[in-house]
Amino acid sequence: MGSELTELTESPPEGIRVELADESNVYEWKVIMEGPEGSPYQNGKFLVKLSLPTEYPFKPPTVSFATRIYHPNVTNDEKGSMCLGMLRADEWKPSSKIAAVLQFARQLLSEPMPDDAVEGRIAEQYKNDRSRYEEIAREWTRKHAC
């Protein structure tokens, strides 16, 4: 876990910066994620909290957006949690790298997965009224993430 943190802080994946929320606690990570180019989240800087359960790596880390974000796969509340794909307990692979988790989360900003959504209405809008979705997502990004 320590070596992964070192690796992540020294050579972070594109658009991602990692530090410990509290130097004495290796289970809580603070991640600054830049909105990917070409997505409505572009230019936004999102604070993402990554916490490792005590059973890590046999249970997946939990990823949540501390910065409000308008996205079909992130709960639209103060928790901002995201739980799908490789982050689900039954799909989690203990051999996954945390870098891969963060890249997966950032990829999701570019390509939401409306069929696996936690926010049904945003997913509907994403599928049926893409421009309206992008408009609101951009607005939220300006308001909360810049």
Could you list the residues that contact another protein (CB under 8 A)? 3-4, 7, 55, 57-59, 88-95, 97, 118, 120-121
SS3 46: strand
Nearest-approach distance from CB 7 to another protein, in angstroms: 7
**Nearest distance from residue 75's CB to another protein, in Å?**
9
Q: Which is nearer to another protein, 35 or 72 (CB)?
A: 72
Cβ pair 45, 145 in contact under 8 A: yes
* Alpha carbon distance, N-terminus to C-terminus of the chain: 31
Choice between 7 and 47, CB closer to another protein: 7
Q: Least distance (Å) from another protein to the CB of residue 146? A: 29
> By C-beta, is 59 or 143 nearer to another protein?
59
Alpha-helical (H) ranges within the chain are 2-10, 98-110, 120-128, 130-144
Marked catalytic residue, from 16, 20, 47, 83: 83
Q: Which residues contact 143 (CB under 8 A, 6 or more apart)?
A: 68
- Residues serving a catalytic function are 83
